Amino acid sequence: MRYKIKEIADLAGLTTRTLRYYDQIGLLPPVEKDRNGYRLYDRDNLLTLQQIMFFRELDVPLKDIQVIINQPEFTLENALIRHRERLKQRSDRLEALIATIDQTIANLQGGRQMAAEEYFDGFDHSQYEEEVKQRWGDTPQYAESQRKWDSYSQEEKEAIITEGERLTIAMVGENPDITPDNPEVQSAVAEYLAYINKYFYSCDLVQLRGLADMWAADSRFSANYERVRPGGAAFVREAVNIYCDQNG
């Protein structure tokens, strides 16, 4: 059976312009063209397009998709198995995030108090790794942090992460009436600085200020504080600056 480009576009929810582009770059050439020059597609084209859309759903660039599906060892069945595994992982993470949202809403409405680590259940922190490497990959601090982290057992790593989450919440201050110069908040900032020095790298007050600026400026980092309360990232930046001013 043959399908015209408009039929394929309607089936897949794409535009004919997109399919023409896929043909132009050699990603999805039609099986043939009729006497009038119309592109015609068959079942194999449907399967290939499905693969392209699965890869795009997983944020794989088109140029990488082209390399992958043209590899001699590439098979549709193996690709579908891998897609299923990755999508299942994403589904599990989204379910965990939904559960975290539900728990947080219940907490805000006066329900069960959440443990510190529960605020961050389901989040994928690996997305920050490349950003960190790009910013500090050539610095002594990055090398020291990597060296220390690799030396910890899995149990130690989990405990360090939990401690970091506790200190993050303590620096933000869940009480909406608390101020950045509050002794409890300032104590949490001091603990966080000690935490960085103990488990990651030698961090001075100048570097701590820089971290606080980044937490507030970069939405990928500020989200960790905004989840605790609105304006949390700016609050922590001010708390850090007060601490550095008083201890510099």
Three state DSSP letters for 33-88? ECCCCCEEECHHHHHHHHHHHHHHHCCCCHHHHHHHHCCCCCCHHHHHHHHHHHHH
User: Using 50, 70 and 90 to split pLDDT, how confident is the model at 119?
Assistant: low
Q: Is the separation of the CB atoms in 68 and 55 below 8 Å?
A: yes
Report the topology of domain 3-74. Answer: Multidrug-efflux Transporter Regulator; Chain: A; Domain 2 (1.10.1660)
User: Using 50, 70 and 90 to split pLDDT, how confident is the model at 161?
Assistant: confident
User: Using 50, 70 and 90 to split pLDDT, how confident is the model at 30?
Assistant: very high
Strand 39-41's sheet: what is its strand order? 3-4, 39-41, 32-33
Of 34-48, 103-117, 156-170, 227-241, where does mean pLDDT reach its minimum?
103-117
Q: Minimal CA–CA distance to 49: which of 90, 79, 82?
A: 79
Rg (CA), the chain: 25
Question: 85 or 18, which is more confident?
Answer: 18
Delimit the domains of the chain by residue range.
3-74, 116-247
CATH 3.40.50.300 fits 116-247, yes or no: no
Give the pLDDT mean for 69-96: 82
pLDDT value of residue 126: 53
* CATH topology match: 3-74 vs 116-247: no
pTM: 0.49
Predicted confidence (pLDDT) at residue 216 exceeds the cutoff of 70: yes
Of 3-7, 102-106, 202-206, 243-247, where does mean pLDDT reach its minimum?
102-106
User: Using 50, 70 and 90 to split pLDDT, how confident is the model at 92?
Assistant: confident
Angle between helices 232-247 and 205-217 (to 10 degrees): 170
pLDDT value of residue 74: 81
Predicted confidence (pLDDT) at residue 130 exceeds the cutoff of 60: no
- Average pLDDT of the chain is 83
Give the pLDDT mean for 220-245: 86
Query: For residues 61 and 171, what is the distance between their CA atoms, to the nearest angstrom?
Result: 39
